[in-house]
Amino acid sequence: MTLKIASIGEAMLELTHQSPRTLTLGFAGDTLNTAVYLSRLAGNLHQIDYVTRVARDWYSDELLAAIQGEGIDTSLIVRTQSGNAGLYLVRTDTAGERTFTYYRSSSVARGLFGPDQGPELDEHLAGYDIIYLSAISLQILTPGARQRLWTLMERVRSAGGSVIFDSNYRSAGWTTPDEARFAIEETLKRTDIALPTYIDEAQLYGDSSPEATAHRIHGLGVPEIVVKDGRDDCVVRLGNEIFHEPALPVQHVVDTTGAGDAFNAGYINARLGGIPPQHAAAAGHRIAAQVIQMPGAIIPHLNDVQMTPQSLGQSPAAGTRRWQH
């Protein structure tokens, strides 16, 4: 069954240091990264759209071309007459850990779901099977735009669709931690699958373990949760069942940028194929392990990741469940 999937957020210009004074231009953004990897994994099986706002300068033209080149539909991207795209710079240390510097206060994506945007986009997205977004998607929006987005999420779910949410927390983008907590919790109350990262949740909520994060989010009514934890096991919670799925060891980590976004794509793609959550997490780890061995959030190519039950360590019968909204 072909599904209509919309990934909502901010696509940015990415400048990655190759040396202290040499940088490479790329295009990225957390929800865009996931959309790209999901498109590569799913091929033509599903329709994947990206939803944002961009300007009309040369950089925005190149950004749109890069998105389209990944097989992602850009017809829902609004183009503005003025402004510019957000920009961030990436530096990595010898262990592959990254440091970001953002220049995005004037990004036109901040007007997404704003008062100058008519209801046509909302009406169109209400018929989608899956809406994917992140806390960074929320971060760029005004309070009124967030409320409009929450209403859209409710409409999608009431029509039988699903919401998938990565609550990645970046403190620099929020006025206060309380503002972030409120926005994230309101979104989680309207979420079917949550894909948080433990280090972010510990920073914002003081969670003592990934299991504590899963328990807290489950208490908000989310039925399916995967808590990513870097090189350590991720914690998968489905209802009251809890599983641990180990990450793949990587000998030489080059750049961890986009690893969580890639994991999300691998997980979602496996779930769309009927793979149960624990084994879908194994697929997520496989994608993330490839990404961290190359520089940049979006690497040039992915090696094939087979989605057969046998390749993910389960019996064939266990992988026959279809995607359920």
Could you tell me the pLDDT band of residue 306, with boundaries at 50, 70 and 90? low
Map out the domains of the chain with their CATH numbers: 4-319 (3.40.1190.20)
Q: How far does Cα 49 stand from its chain's mean position?
A: 13
pLDDT of residue 309 exceeding 60, the answer is: no
| Residues 234-256: tens digit of each pLDDT | 999 999 999 999 999 998 888 88
134 has pLDDT over 50: yes
User: Other C-beta atoms within 10 Å of 314: how many?
Assistant: 16
Which range has the top average pLDDT, 7-16, 89-98, 149-158, 253-262?
A: 149-158
Q: Residues 204, 209, 210, 216: is their CA dihedral positive or negative? A: negative
Stretch (H or E) spanning 88: strand 87-92
Q: Tens digit of pLDDT for each residue in 147-186? A: 999 999 999 999 999 999 999 999 988 999 999 999 999 9
Question: pLDDT exceeding 70 applies to what percent of the chain?
Answer: 93
> Is the pLDDT score of 118 beyond 60?
yes
Given the residues 30, 200, 207, 261, the one annotated as active site: 261
How does residue 319 score in pLDDT terms, banded at 50, 70 and 90? very low
d(CA 277, CA 134) in angstroms, rounded, equals 20
Burial of 44 (0-12, 13-18, 19+ CB in 10 A): exposed
DSSP per-residue codes, 255-295: --TTHHHHHHHHHHHHHHTT--HHHHHHHHHHHHHHHTTSS
**Quick one: which of 230, 293, 255, 244 has its CA closest to 97?**
255
Mean pLDDT of the chain: 90
- Cβ atoms of 218 and 247 within 8 Å: the answer is no
Whether this model's pTM surpasses 0.85 = yes
| 261 labelled catalytic | yes
What does the alpha-carbon distance between residue 40 and residue 303 come to, in Å, rounded to a whole number?
Answer: 10
